[in-house]
């Protein structure tokens, strides 16, 4: 799997058990989990390493190859030759223009019906009395998810009302709801279809990888060409971005339905369709719901990008305020986005522990039951559905009350009464100014130091390495790590970047991303390790990470400029902030996740905390930590576009130039190059990860 978001891996690691193949399942029984972990422990504690008889010879071989490559490289030259350049972008542009002209019959109806849906939903919401809408939302949240989330929603709504963002919030919510509903329906359909056909599944997985790795900015302008600006285009962009998680989790969910349940249904004589409907989809539901949850979060994260092509709402408020340096207003809208992201996360991500019956099935039981059991049943039903009944009653009364009191009926939430008015503008602007005026000079020294002594050097170094050297080293590494196929993929990817004319930009992007990841590891690994040792700390750090991941990136990117100035250092800092959470999270998960019996075994031999960490927890948690590192790398590459907004050079800048100058070809070329770079890097890192796993014997060969 290539580019993956933090959410996806988190769930894969923590929630989903590995699937088993039937023939192997029995053999795995032989070696029970415990005996396996013991063996690992023995291995780790005794520090034995498998002997490498031919190691020296191999090292010599590699060194020889390296020397050869270097000498070839120095002859060929440093930069990828421009004569290899392939006008991929302009070709694509031509195809695209043909499509725009000739396929209108295909996309026009889609665009129009989507717009109709959006417009009618927006009208519906606008026509509802605002207090009633608020009451309704809170009521549904209460009935469905309980008082805590209803309370959270109340706070969120109260916040947006008092900062005067009611209309923007509604616009964003409508866009999100429509995008999520469409993405979920599409995603589940695609997921189910993929489950039925292996070839289609392979295709879908590649397409999903591409959708997640291909930078959104590269297709912003084409989308506007096809669907027009405003909400429809934004909707499409949001759907494209939010589709992968639910699709993946549907596929995964259906796959991980216990084979026995399917066999049980099969052995009862179910048809394939019956199995799908009665067993696979219901049992995959938790997984699908997790996917829906991620889809919602992904959609929310697109709010600002959607604003760039004309979607109204909170994203628009953030971006608009940032461009006029109204950081306080931007923060207000940003907080509103975070609050609603949290509410939506809790609403969709709630673990369904209750096995209580549905209202309908209880009602049915009530109707069909007679006699002595009935009163008890009625009582139980009332108790179980107390919340629902209560909410319905309150909502009904509230509706009547609101429609009778004109002041409420025509209440305008857009401009809050002065007494409720909340504004962050002054404190935030003052804080930014204070930072700029008081810390700015110190930070300047730091920034200039990093720029002058580190980044300039790294960039110079990266650009000084001749391209054949990079090519052969990467392809060789892929050959070792992933075999012929991996090497072919890496070669194709690197050549692709070269012929697109993006070699230099890719090198710079990679350098900055690599530096950012190193810094993130330097900070994140210790924090994760400390966090794994204390539940209290975990409880404190977790929400911080949540907010870091939900806050729109742009929100902190532009203020960084005021303090640090534009350029690669600011971009580096933003990238570090962005890719830090997964490192911390997965380090924590990895160190906590080590089998408790294994830890006990080590402790009982008298290992100190540090020894335990070094000899047991880190080696056993390494695969998970590596997943975190991989995520950090992919995120840092994805961040290239955002950091380009504050003047960081590289592929992101090329892409942005394509967007700014409306050059579709340049945008596409830079986008494809970013995709290729991400794929090559991802495959390499997962290859390293696999090697580490194989080396540690954690996975049976």
Partner 1 sequence: MKNHYRAASITGIVSLAIILSGCGAASERSAQGPQVDASIAPEIGTALQKEGPVQIIDQDFLSASIHAEMMAQLLEKMGGEASTLKIADINSTWPAMAKADNLVNPEAWDIFFGPQIEEYVEKEKSVVQLGTLSITAEEGWYVPTYVIKGDPERGIEPACPGLPDWKALNDCAHIFASPETGGKGKYLTGPAGWIDYYGDAQRIENLGLNYEVVAAGSEAALVAEIKRAYDRGEPLLSLMWSPHFVTQKYDLTRIEFPPYTKECWGTTFACGWQDPSLLKLAGSEFPEKHPTAADFVSKFSLSDDDLGALMVEMEESQDAADVVVKKWIDENPDVWSQWLPSVPSES
Partner 2 sequence: MSKALTADEAIVSCRNLWKVYGPDPHRYVSAHNAGVGALDGHTAAVRDLTFDVRPGEKLVVMGLSGSGKSTLIRCLTRLVEPTSGEVIIGGRDVTKMEPAELRGLRRDECSMVFQHFGLFGHRTVLQNAAYGLEIKGVSRKEREQRARDVLDTVGLSGWENRYPSELSGGMKQRVGLARALASDPQILFFDEPFSALDPLIRRDLQDELLRLAKDIKKTFIFITHDMAEALKLGDRIIIMKDGQIVQVGTPEEILLHPVDDYVRRFTADASRAHIVRVGTVASESKSISVETSAFDAVKVLDDSGNDSAIIVDSHGRPLGYINRSKLLSVGHNDPVGSLHVPVPIISSDRTLHDATNLVMDGNNPVAVIDSEGRLVGVVDTRLLLAALVDLPDHRKEFADLSR
**Where does this chain bind partner 2 (CB under 8 A)?**
22-23, 25-27, 29-30, 258, 260-261, 263-271, 274, 278-279, 282-283, 285, 355, 357, 365
3-state secondary structure 603-625: HHCCCCHHHHHHHHHHHHHHHHH
Stretch of 123-131, 257-265, 496-504, 527-535 lying at the interface with partner 1 (CB under 8 A)? 123-131
Stretch of 291-299, 358-366, 469-477, 510-518 lying at the interface with partner 1 (CB under 8 A)? 358-366
Pick the closer one to partner 1 by CB: 23 or 351: 351
Tokens of 204: 């879908």
Q: Is 436 in the site for partner 1 (CB under 8 A)?
A: yes
Q: Is 233 in the site for partner 1 (CB under 8 A)?
A: yes
**Of 12, 266, 365, 399, the one binding partner 1 by CB under 8 A:** 399
Q: Is 662 in the site for partner 1 (CB under 8 A)?
A: yes
- The vertex-203 CA angle with 202 and 206, nearest 5°, equals 90
Nearest distance from C-beta of residue 285 to partner 2, angstroms = 7
676 binds, among partner 1, partner 2, none (CB under 5 to 8 A by kind): none
Q: Is 119 in the site for partner 1 (CB under 8 A)?
A: no
Residue 624 and residue 563 in contact, taking contact as beta carbons nearer than 8 Å: no
Q: Is 230 in the site for partner 1 (CB under 8 A)?
A: yes
> How many residues can be counted in the chain?
701
Tokens of 195: 């489950």
**Of 152, 182, 204, 221, the one binding partner 1 by CB under 8 A:** 221
Q: Is 229 in the site for partner 1 (CB under 8 A)?
A: yes
**Of 267, 354, 419, 604, the one binding partner 1 by CB under 8 A:** 354
Q: Among candidates 1, 3, 2, which has minimal Cα distance to 635?
A: 3
What whole-number distance in Å separates Cα of residue 591 and Cα of residue 625?
A: 9
How distant, in Å, are the alpha carbons of 111, 222, 274 from that of 232? Answer: 7, 13, 37
Neighbours of 277 (CB within 10 A): 12
What whole-number distance in Å separates Cα of residue 583 and Cα of residue 15?
A: 18
**Of 52, 98, 382, 410, the one binding partner 1 by CB under 8 A:** 410
Residues 6+ apart with CB under 8 A from 238: 175, 176, 179, 183, 299, 302, 306
Q: Is 388 in the site for partner 1 (CB under 8 A)?
A: yes
What whole-number distance in Å separates Cα of residue 516 and Cα of residue 514?
A: 5
Q: Is 129 in the site for partner 1 (CB under 8 A)?
A: yes
Neighbours of 102 (CB within 10 A): 9
Pick the closer one to partner 2 by CB: 264 or 660: 264
646 binds, among partner 2, partner 1, none (CB under 5 to 8 A by kind): partner 1
Contact characters 529-568, partner 1, x per CB under 8 A: -----------------------------xx-xxx-xxxx
648 binds, among partner 1, partner 2, none (CB under 5 to 8 A by kind): partner 1
What whole-number distance in Å separates Cα of residue 10 and Cα of residue 3?
A: 14
266 binds, among partner 1, partner 2, none (CB under 5 to 8 A by kind): partner 2
* CB-count exposure of residue 386 (10 Å: 0-12, 13-18, 19+): exposed
**Of 2, 10, 143, 497, the one binding partner 1 by CB under 8 A:** 143
Contact characters 319-348, partner 1, x per CB under 8 A: xx-xxxxx--x-------------------
263 binds, among partner 2, partner 1, none (CB under 5 to 8 A by kind): partner 2
DSSP 469-509: HHHHHHHHHHHHHHHHHHHHHHHHHHHHHHHTT-HHHHHHH
Which is it for the CA torsion 501, 503, 506, 512, positive or negative? negative
Q: Is 451 in the site for partner 1 (CB under 8 A)?
A: yes
What whole-number distance in Å separates Cα of residue 201 and Cα of residue 184?
A: 17
Stretch of 3-11, 472-480, 575-583, 639-647 lying at the interface with partner 1 (CB under 8 A)? 639-647
Q: Is 452 in the site for partner 1 (CB under 8 A)?
A: yes
265 binds, among partner 2, partner 1, none (CB under 5 to 8 A by kind): partner 2
Binding-site size, partner 1 (CB under 8 A): 91
Residue 84 and residue 499 in contact, taking contact as beta carbons nearer than 8 Å: yes
Q: Is 127 in the site for partner 1 (CB under 8 A)?
A: yes
Inter-helix orientation angle 651-660/664-696, to 10°: 150
Pick the closer one to partner 2 by CB: 357 or 542: 357
116 binds, among partner 1, partner 2, none (CB under 5 to 8 A by kind): none
How distant, in Å, are the alpha carbons of 5, 171, 238, 266, 373 from that of 212? Answer: 8, 25, 12, 36, 55
Stretch of 187-195, 308-316, 533-541, 604-612 lying at the interface with partner 1 (CB under 8 A)? 308-316
Residues 360-379 binding partner 1 (CB under 8 A) are 360-361
Pick the closer one to partner 2 by CB: 271 or 456: 271
């Amino acid at each position: 799997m290539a580019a993956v978001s933090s959410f996806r891996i988190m769930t894969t690691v923590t929630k989903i058990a590995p699937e088993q193949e039937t023939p192997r399942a029995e053999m795995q029984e032989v070696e029970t989990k415990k005996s396996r972990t013991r063996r690992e422990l023995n291995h780790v504690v005794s520090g034995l390493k498998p002997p490498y008889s031919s190691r020296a010879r191999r090292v010599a071989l590699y060194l020889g190859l390296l020397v050869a490559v270097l000498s070839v490289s120095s002859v060929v030259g440093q930069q990828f030759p421009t004569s290899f350049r392939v006008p991929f972008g302009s070709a694509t542009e031509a195809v695209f223009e043909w499509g725009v002209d000739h396929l209108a019959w295909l996309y026009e109806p889609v665009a129009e019906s989507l717009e109709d849906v959006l417009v009618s939903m927006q009208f519906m919401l606008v026509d509802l009395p605002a207090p009633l809408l608020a009451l309704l939302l809170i009521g549904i949240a209460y009935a469905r998810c309980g008082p805590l989330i209803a309370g959270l929603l109340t706070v969120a709504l109260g916040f947006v009302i008092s900062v005067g963002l009611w209309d923007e919030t509604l616009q964003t919510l409508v866009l999100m709801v429509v995008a999520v509903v469409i993405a979920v329906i599409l995603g589940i359909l695609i997921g189910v279809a993929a489950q039925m056909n292996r070839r289609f599944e392979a295709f879908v997985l590649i397409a999903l990888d591409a959708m997640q790795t291909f930078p959104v900015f590269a297709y912003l302008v084409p989308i506007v060409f096809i669907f027009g600006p405003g909400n429809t285009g934004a909707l499409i962009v949001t759907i494209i971005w939010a589709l992968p998680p639910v699709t993946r989790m549907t596929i995964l969910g259906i796959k991980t339905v216990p084979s026995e349940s399917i066999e049980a249904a099969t052995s009862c004589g179910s048809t394939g369709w019956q199995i799908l409907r009665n067993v696979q989809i219901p049992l995959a539901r938790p997984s699908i719901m997790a996917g829906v949850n991620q889809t919602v979060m992904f959609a929310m994260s697109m709010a600002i990008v959607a604003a760039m092509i004309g979607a109204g709402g909170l994203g628009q408020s953030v971006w608009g305020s940032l461009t006029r340096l109204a950081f306080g207003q931007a923060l207000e809208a940003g907080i509103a986005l975070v609050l609603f992201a949290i509410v939506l996360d809790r609403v969709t991500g709630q673990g369904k522990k209750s096995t209580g019956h549905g209202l309908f099935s209880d009602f049915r039981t009530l109707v069909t039951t007679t006699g002595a059991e009935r009163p008890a049943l009625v009582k139980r039903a009332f108790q179980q559905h107390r919340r629902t009944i209560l909410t319905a009653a309150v909502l009904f009364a509230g509706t009547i009350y609101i429609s009778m009191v004109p002041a409420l009926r025509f209440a305008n939430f857009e401009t809050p009464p002065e007494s409720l008015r909340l504004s962050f503008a002054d404190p935030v602007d003052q804080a930014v100014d204070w930072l700029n005026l008081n810390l700015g000079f110190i930070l300047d020294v730091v920034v200039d130091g990093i720029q002058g002594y580190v980044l300039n050097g790294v960039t110079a170094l990266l650009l000084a390495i001749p391209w054949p050297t990079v090519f052969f080293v990467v392809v060789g590494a892929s050959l070792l790590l992933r075999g012929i196929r991996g090497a072919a993929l890496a070669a194709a990817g690197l050549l692709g970047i070269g012929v697109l004319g993006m070699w230099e930009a890719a090198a710079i992007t990679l350098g900055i991303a690599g530096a950012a990841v190193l810094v993130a590891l330097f900070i994140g690994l210790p924090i994760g390790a400390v966090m794994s040792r204390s539940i209290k700390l975990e409880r404190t750090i977790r929400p911080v990470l949540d907010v870091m991941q939900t806050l729109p990136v742009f929100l902190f990117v532009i203020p960084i400029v005021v303090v640090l100035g534009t350029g690669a250092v600011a971009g580096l800092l933003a990238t570090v902030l962005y890719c830090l959470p997964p490192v911390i999270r997965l380090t924590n998960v990895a160190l906590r996740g080590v089998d408790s019996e294994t830890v006990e075994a080590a402790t009982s031999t008298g290992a100190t905390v540090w020894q335990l960490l070094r000899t047991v927890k880190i080696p056993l948690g390494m695969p998970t930590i590596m997943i975190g590192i991989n995520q950090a790398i992919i995120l840092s590459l994805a961040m290239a576009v955002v950091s380009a907004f504050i003047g960081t050079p590289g592929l992101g800048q090329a892409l942005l130039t394509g967007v700014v100058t409306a050059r579709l070809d340049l945008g596409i070329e830079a986008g494809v190059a970013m995709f290729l770079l991400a794929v090559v890097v991802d495959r390499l890192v997962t290859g390293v990860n696999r090697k580490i796993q194989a080396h540690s014997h954690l996975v049976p060969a």
